[in-house]
Structure formats: structure tokens, C-alpha cells
Amino acid sequence: MNIKQFYDEGLAHASYAIESEGLIALVDPGRNPNPYYDFAETYGGKIVAVIETHPHADFVSSHLEFHQNEDATIYVSKLVEADYPHSSFDEGDSFKLGKLSFHALHTPGHSPDSISVILKDENGKDYALFSGDTLFIGDVGRPDLREKAGNMKAQRKELAQMMYKTVQTKLKPLSDDIIVYPAHGAGSLCGKNLSDERQSTIGEQRENNWAFGDLDEKSFVNSLLEGQPYIPKYFSYDVDMNKTGAPAYKRSISRVGIWSEGASISEGSLIIDARKKEAFAEGHIPGSINIMNGAKFETWLGSIVSPEEHFFLVSDSIAELEDLINKASKIGYEQLIKAAVINPKGMSARESSFNVDEFKTNPDKFTIVDIRSRDENHNSPIFEKAMNIPLQELRERTVEIPDEKPILVHCAGGYRSAAGSSIVAGQKQNVEVFDFSEEIKNFQ
């Protein structure tokens, strides 16, 4: 038996490959199939099965591509009502892989169609739990993502109650030595208290995970519902895409045209400029949004841009654009890119330079906009008079910002405020807009 965890830092997504006697099963694979093919080559094996614990909201899976290319069987709950060829995998169902076997548990709570999967070893002993978005290290999956997505819609309170029953009747009875392999780690928006640890045991979770505590249902539900992070615009789009199956990765990204330097972009287009802040400030197409290429590019892209929109992607090299297209594909957004362009024509707009000493002398001269989350703003206020409009809401709410004074946009460290200030500047062209950038660190 060989098990490998594949971890995508950008989405805090964990997927798995399990090999026995040359046969390989995947659990919740990401969009790019190549890492899993590399695993198969290493062990001289064949990918014959893909398990989907539920239709994921935060990334696009490659399950359909493995079925089409390898004739791999896709195992998923019948409750998903999947539109792709599959084998129903629900409570009491199992299948063999070499000397191993996989057994489904119905574990609703994060979604009504969630399953977790027990892996039994060569001796028939419960060895590991692939818990999907049901059980994380230190937390359980949030219950508020299926009110408007998927074929099975459910209210958050109803799902939180399901999660309570799942913990009590499905997870707590498991043996302490079972290894827990979750689908996400710290930084994921699929929960709120995820640990940096990427695997654990049921025994460790029994000791350290709040959800295993001695709580009645009402207390559990209230705790689970409280303080969940925001829901990005792309989440329901990915649930639906995972229900139908995504286009093949390589073919889909190859359809994105890369335009040479100096090409023209039609006026009024939505433009995502992923260059560094300094380059953007020196010149960009008016109205461009500066989502810098970074560790969370794809999450912020899918939080700021809705799946109904199409956009141009701008950077300063082919290599950078290819990286950005790959990141966009992880959430299915490569299909929304009209073209990827190297330093297009018309980069005439400049960003005003922020003078921090002037701010210190007269802070009331500015309208300050805090684009951190509501929880960040509430728990760690920086400026008493700042307006709090979270970045993911800013395009729709910039109109609320008064324009009698220069506008100063800040976040916690400078990454988000690059995007935020560009959004405000694009909509408020009659007033100066400044980015606090990394200077904000000196005020916390």
C-alpha cells in the first residue's frame, strides 16, 4: 500500500492517490491531472478509480477527465445526481483496490450529499478516513455553501444539525488509531478553525477538535454557524461544474489565446492586471483591477469576478501569463478569459503616490476604507473612522464611498489593498485614490 497526499497551497486543498498491486484510486483530485499521472508512473500503476466526496465548491476536479482518458470508475453519492458516468457510492457500499478496500459513510453536514471513506488495509483493518470537507484537523466543514448551489439545496441550520448527527453517529464511534486525511488545511474557506497539520488521527481529533466536545445539538449548531468566512462568488459555479464534470485540463487552457506585447484591448472590457503593484502604478489601462499574482490569486479572482463575467488577463511575460491561466483553471475560470495579454496598448493611467507623513500630519484629510473582512475589522480595528467594505463586496459598493476627500484604501498587509484601490480608482475617477499598501503594518 502506498498513499500520497498532494497539497495545493493556493487553495489549501489536499487530494490523495492510493496504490495497491499496481492499481490506483484517487480521492478529490484537483484540476491538473499531471501530478497523479506522475504518481502512477512512479509505481508503474494504472488509475482505475476516482472518489468524489461531494461536489466541491472551492476547486474544480479532474474526475471526468480520468474517466474519459483512463476509463476510471468515478465513485460518488447517488444524492449528487451527477451528470457524468459514475458508480453510486453510499452508506454500506464498498469496492476493492488490489488488497485494499474502500467503504462509504454518508456524512452530511458540509453538504447533504457528502460522503467520507474508510480505507481498510490488507488485513481488513480500518486504516484511514478520507473525510472530504466533513472532518478537518481542528474543525468540521462549514454548513452554509449549499443554500443556492447544487441539486440538493439545504439551509445552513439544517446542515449544521446534520453535521452534529454525523459527528455523534459516524465519527465518534471510529477507532482512535484511524488516520484522518481531510480535503483541506489552514487557509481554506471551507471552514474557520483549520489546523496547519495536514493529517491526524481520530484519537487526536477526539482530544483536540471542538466538534468532538461534550456539546448539545443547539450549542454545536450555534458554534458551527458563528464566524464563518465569506463565500466567494465562484463557489456555486464550481459546485455545478463538478456535478457535470469539467473540460479536459490541457485542452481547455490551450484555448486561451496569448496576445503579444502592445496588442489592443477593446474599450470597456474587464481587465485583471496581475503585475506587481509598482509596475501597475507606473502605467495600466484605466479601470483595470490589480489582482497581483500571488499565493491566493485564484481565490481573489473568484471572489472579485463573478462567473457570469469574461475578462482579459494582463501581465508582463508569457511565463507569468501561463502561470496565471493555470491558477485560473483551478477554479474553472480559464473559460472566462477572453485573452491573456503581455503589456497591452493604452496603459496610460497612473496611480497616485501615497505620502504617509502627510497622512500622519492630517489623517482627517482622507476618507479611509478598510477592505478587510468584517471579523478582522471588528476584532482588530486600526482606524476608528474607517469605512469597512470587504474586498469581495467592493465593486458593488464603491458607490457608498463619499468622494469629497481623497480616498485611502487599506487591508492588513498590502496585497488586498492593491486590488481594492484599483477598483475604487476605476470607479471614482473624479477623486484621488491612494493605496496604503505595506505601510499599514506600521499602524497595527
Instruction: Express each pLDDT in 385-419 by its tens digit.
Output: 999 999 999 999 999 999 999 999 999 999 999 99
pLDDT of residue 221: 97
Measured distance between the N- and C-terminal CA atoms of the chain, rounded to whole angstroms:
50
pLDDT of 164 over the 70 cut? yes
Identity of the amino acid at 119: L
Class of 2-238 in CATH: alpha beta
pLDDT digits (tens, 9 = 90+) for 91-111: 999 999 999 999 999 999 999
**Residue pair 126/120 in contact by the 8 Å Cβ criterion:** yes
Spatial separation of the C-alpha atoms in residues 444 and 438, rounded to whole Å: 11
Spatial separation of the C-alpha atoms in residues 130 and 393, rounded to whole Å: 34
pLDDT of residue 193: 87
pLDDT of residue 182: 98
Instruction: Taking residues 176-184, report their average pLDDT.
Output: 98
pLDDT of residue 42: 96
pLDDT of residue 377: 92
Which grid coordinates are listed for 300?
481573489
pLDDT of 147 over the 90 cut? no
**Residue pair 310/338 in contact by the 8 Å Cβ criterion:** yes
**Residue pair 193/203 in contact by the 8 Å Cβ criterion:** no
What are phi and psi for residue 177, nearest 5 degrees? -85, 0
23-27/13-20 β-pairing: antiparallel
For residue 440, give the DSSP letter.
G
Q: Do domains 247-342 and 356-443 have the same CATH topology?
A: yes
* pLDDT tier at 272, thresholds 50, 70, 90: very high
More confident residue, 48 or 429: 48
pLDDT of residue 150: 53
pLDDT of residue 223: 96
Q: Over the chain, what is the mean pLDDT?
A: 96
CATH of 356-443, one of 3.90.1150.10, 3.40.50.620, 3.90.1300.10, 3.40.250.10: 3.40.250.10
pLDDT of residue 352: 87
Tell me the whole-structure pTM to 2 decimals. Answer: 0.94
pLDDT of residue 292: 98
pLDDT digits (tens, 9 = 90+) for 339-394: 999 999 999 999 989 999 999 999 999 999 999 999 999 999 999 999 999 999 99
pLDDT of residue 308: 97
pLDDT of residue 413: 94
Instruction: Taking residues 241-251, report their average pLDDT.
Output: 97
Please name the residues in contact with 6: beta carbons below 8 A apart, sequence gap of 6 or more. Answer: 14, 15, 16, 17, 29, 30, 35, 36
What are phi and psi for residue 49, nearest 5 degrees? -150, 145
Instruction: Taking residues 139-156, report their average pLDDT.
Output: 78
pLDDT of 152 over the 60 cut? no
pLDDT of residue 151: 54
Identity of the amino acid at 214: D
| Cα–Cα separations (whole angstroms), residue 288 to 315, 337, 370 | 12, 14, 20
More confident residue, 262 or 137: 137
pLDDT of residue 148: 66
Cβ count near 435 (within 10 Å): 28
pLDDT of residue 153: 54
What are phi and psi for residue 271, nearest 5 degrees? -125, 125
What are the residue boundaries of the structural domains of the chain, listed by start?
2-238, 247-342, 356-443
Spatial separation of the C-alpha atoms in residues 341 and 313, rounded to whole Å: 6
Portion of the chain with pLDDT greater than 90, in percent = 94
Return the CATH superfamily for domain 247-342.
Answer: Rhodanese-like domain (3.40.250.10)
Q: What angle do CA 133, 139, 144 make, to 5 degrees?
A: 55
Mark out the alpha helices in 330-441 (DSSP H runs): 356-361, 374-379, 394-397, 415-427
pLDDT digits (tens, 9 = 90+) for 199-227: 999 999 999 999 999 999 999 999 999 99
| 3-state class (DSSP) for residue 27 | strand
